[in-house]
Copies of this chain bind each other. A is one copy, B any other.
Amino acid sequence: MPVNLPEIDPNLLSPIQGIKLGWAESNIKQPNRKDLLVIEVADGSTVAGVFTQNRFCAAPVTLCKQHLNAVNERKVESIKALVINTGNANAGTGEQGMADAVATCEQLAEIMNIPVESILPFSTGVILEHLPMDKLLAGLPLAVSNLTENNWANAASAIMTTDVAPKAFSTSLNIGNDTVNITGISKGAGMIHPNMATMLGYIATDAAIDQSLLNDITKEIADLSFNCISVDGDTSTNDSFIVLATGKSGANPINSRKDNGFAEIYNALLETAQYLAKAIVRDGEGATKFLTVTVKGAKSVEEAKSIGFSIGKSPLVKTAMFASDPNLGRVLAAIGYASRECSSLSDLNTDELELYFGDVLVAEKGGRAESYVEADGQAIMNESEIDITVQLHRGADNATIWTCDFSYDYVKINAEYRT
């Protein structure tokens, strides 16, 4: 079961004016399962995306980038639809894979009477298998036929693969006298590591946000949310994070960082993205604990993130967490070898740093803290939410990453499931 991930209440997911969602069961991998989602985006919306940096990126990712470029170069007016299938990632599928992604867009373009280049395609699931195009194409009219603003909870279910639970979040804010809504969904449970993880994330708002500004803040928000999580250190071929801004709320448009409401919308989008990113970790394959690792006092954010991930990726730390073992030695060792991946840490003075489990000081001056008694560390480890904090005392930069423990079930799930 996911770690402290509340069930979705469909009534608490706000519809976003200008966004309709429709789903189908098209038997791509399994029968009787929502596996196809179409998102209709109102004319004039701005759309930005961040994609996997895996060199084996999937055909739909390549096509998404081309279509977003076409918008940014004003070759097409705007993005008008997204289409997402699960069960098959259309990755490592060569020329046929690209032809299949194009054919999916072409068919949807015809059904919805919109340009092919205004459609963003996404796939997630098994790698190296060709899409069952007959099933997928047959599902498209079904998905289009039930497009409605009230389908966010169904959409969250429709994009799941090995996820145990759907992931969605809504919030709202005021810009001037107008209320602006934000709703997002995400999926992912394994092969999770930044840049990007095997994850899909979609956030929509009825605020109006300038295209160039939206491009910038989508990247920044991804770096502070989806790029701060790790389940197993693997990075998939298909990861995508998309922000849609329809402008239908009627609130004043946000065209620059100085505009009224910018800080509020930025923070609300970030809150939504962090909730959705953390939800993926909470549903991490086999997870029983949710870990928040905060590194303070670094010389750079890169240093802080390197130490955070060095701890958060260590199988020894993660198995200790699974065992509720307050094993400071493994955490200290992981801090010590972070310099492997961040050369500026090669002069890290381990005598100067402090390590905390929760608010308990467990290590300082290169060893166990004199004040520390194991019962205090054990009490922290017995919780399902564990905070680990490292204070380096060498600079002013901080970072927080989120991860989960490593359990028998992780091995079981990944030894039995064919990605």
Contact = CB atoms under 8 A, between A and B. Distances in A.
Interface of A: 53-57, 91-94, 97, 126-128, 190-191, 193, 195, 232-237, 313-316, 319-320, 322-323, 325, 327-330, 332-341, 345-346, 348, 350-351, 363, 365-368, 406-408, 410-412, 414-416, 418-419
A323 B415 contact: yes
Given A92-B329, A237-B333, A337-B234, A316 B419 contact: yes
25 contacts: A53-B337, A53-B339, A54-B337, A56-B336, A56-B366, A57-B336, A92-B367, A94-B367, A127-B330, A128-B329, A193-B337, A233-B313, A233-B314, A234-B314, A234-B334, A234-B337, A235-B333, A235-B337, A236-B333, A237-B336, A320-B415, A323-B416, A407-B411, A410-B411, A411-B411
A341 to B, nearest CB: 6
- Residue from A91, A195, A323, A336 whose CB has the most chain B CB atoms within 10 Å: A336
B340 A235 contact: yes
A417 to B, nearest CB: 9
Nearest to A196: B337
Nearest to A232: B315
A55 B415 contact: no
Contacts of A407: 411
Contacts of A320: 414-415
B325 A56 contact: no
A267 to B, nearest CB: 29
Nearest to A286: B411
Given A237-B336, A365-B94, A348 B415 contact: no
A191 B332 CA distance: 13
Given A127-B330, A195-B340, 20 more contacts: A53-B337, A53-B340, A54-B336, A55-B346, A92-B329, A92-B363, A94-B351, A94-B367, A128-B329, A128-B367, A190-B316, A191-B316, A232-B314, A234-B334, A235-B333, A315-B406, A315-B414, A319-B415, A323-B416, A330-B419
A330 B350 CA distance: 36
A340 B195 CA distance: 8
A375 to B, nearest CB: 16
A190 B418 CA distance: 27
B235 A127 contact: no
